[in-house]
Amino acid sequence: MTETGLNALASATHAIHRARQHLAKSLTRHFFAVALLALGSGAAADDTPYQLQNTYPHEPALFTQGLELYQGKLYESSGLYGHSKIIARKFPPSATDSITGTALPANIFAEGISQYRGKLYMLTWRAGRGLIIDPQHFKLLGVFPYQGQGWGLCASIVEGRADHFVMSNGSDQLQRLAADSMKLLSTVTVKENGKAIDNLNELECLGDYVIANQWHTNNLLIIDGRSGEVLKKLDLSALAAAANKTSPLAPEAVLNGVAYDADDDSWLVTGKLWPSIFRIKFALPALPVQSSPSRP
Ligand SMILES: [Ca+2]
């Protein structure tokens, strides 16, 4: 692998070598390698009922860091150095599906992913560089810098204002990044009745709502992305318990992964190393009326 920096990284897209190998169950995965040395280096809200709609198999080897539905496929990023990958498969899955995706270089720790205007954006934890990837062929399209650690990512789109990404970093802060430049716009502290809520991890945006799961808890938080206020909290302990019934889970096999399905207004949730993906429905609380409008 030859390369020296981010410019080389961006230009390395077409120099990637690809290999294919057949996986068990006749699944196919596309690999590419890129030169990436530059990356080396509440108590307050009530628990809210939800309805379990369905349960699907999930590959229990995946250390899920990002979950996103896009054009009938479920995209998932899986972390850990030396094991990171992005995969995609038709959803709901069937036994004959093929899995496509890409294995990532060993110095990349894949974190959250988000689809935005036909491209996948993926964070790389402590490396401070995100990757922009073509969701069809998994080619590297670009690189963007970010500040601090990168955990979860989602794209917030509201008619009448500029799009932005929301990024978590494991703290109680959410960063807003301009979607057109990936530049930091602002940060907001997530609070539940005045108390900061930390360890925010995987995210899903729906307009101004930010749905976040909190690392090492079974909580799914419904957040007003404009103010950071936790509007509701779902306790998904029953789903975590159900996952544990079929697979002994390691201590790090925690709830992580939420994706919105606009087709039926439901949500897919899973966890690291979980054998199941759950489809749930829940009512979104109304967003408070803001005294100062968010539009410019
Ligand atoms: Ca997500």
CA of 154 to the centre of ligand 1 (A): 6
The verdict on residue 289 lying in a domain is no
The verdict on residue 121 lying in a domain is yes
Range of the domain at 166: 6-281
The verdict on residue 287 lying in a domain is no
CA nearest neighbour of 165 among 149, 181, 148:
181
Residue 24 phi/psi, 5-degree rounding, is -55, 155
The verdict on residue 197 lying in a domain is yes
Joined tokens for residue 59: 């590959």
The verdict on residue 295 lying in a domain is no
CA nearest neighbour of 166 among 104, 225, 214:
225
Inform me whether the pLDDT recorded for 283 exceeds 70.
Answer: yes
The verdict on residue 14 lying in a domain is yes
Cα separation, 104 vs 221, whole angstroms: 30
pLDDT in tens, 202-257: 999 999 999 999 999 999 999 999 999 999 999 999 999 999 887 788 889 999 99
CA of 153 to the centre of ligand 1 (A): 7
First to last CA, the chain: 46
CA of 258 to the centre of ligand 1 (A): 5
CA of 4 to the centre of ligand 1 (A): 32
Q: Are 73 and 118 in contact (CB under 8 A)?
A: no
Out of 72-81, 92-101, 109-118, 170-179, which region has the weakest mean confidence (pLDDT)?
92-101
CA of 20 to the centre of ligand 1 (A): 27
CA of 265 to the centre of ligand 1 (A): 15
Q: Are 62 and 253 in contact (CB under 8 A)?
A: no
CA of 65 to the centre of ligand 1 (A): 9
CA of 264 to the centre of ligand 1 (A): 17
- Indicate which CATH number applies to the domain containing 230: 2.120.10
Inform me whether the pLDDT recorded for 29 exceeds 60.
Answer: no
CA of 195 to the centre of ligand 1 (A): 24
Domain count, the chain: 1
pLDDT in tens, 175-185: 999 999 999 99
The verdict on residue 270 lying in a domain is yes
The reported pLDDT for the residue numbered 117 is 97
CA nearest neighbour of 61 among 78, 73, 76, 82:
78
Q: What is the pTM of this model?
A: 0.82
CA of 202 to the centre of ligand 1 (A): 6
Read off the pLDDT of each residue in 277-286 and give the average, rounded to a whole number. 96
Q: How many CB atoms lie under 10 A from the CB of residue 97?
A: 15
Q: How many CB atoms lie under 10 A from the CB of residue 115?
A: 19
CA of 275 to the centre of ligand 1 (A): 18
Rounded to a whole number of angstroms, the CA Rg of the chain reads: 18
Inform me whether the pLDDT recorded for 92 exceeds 90.
Answer: yes
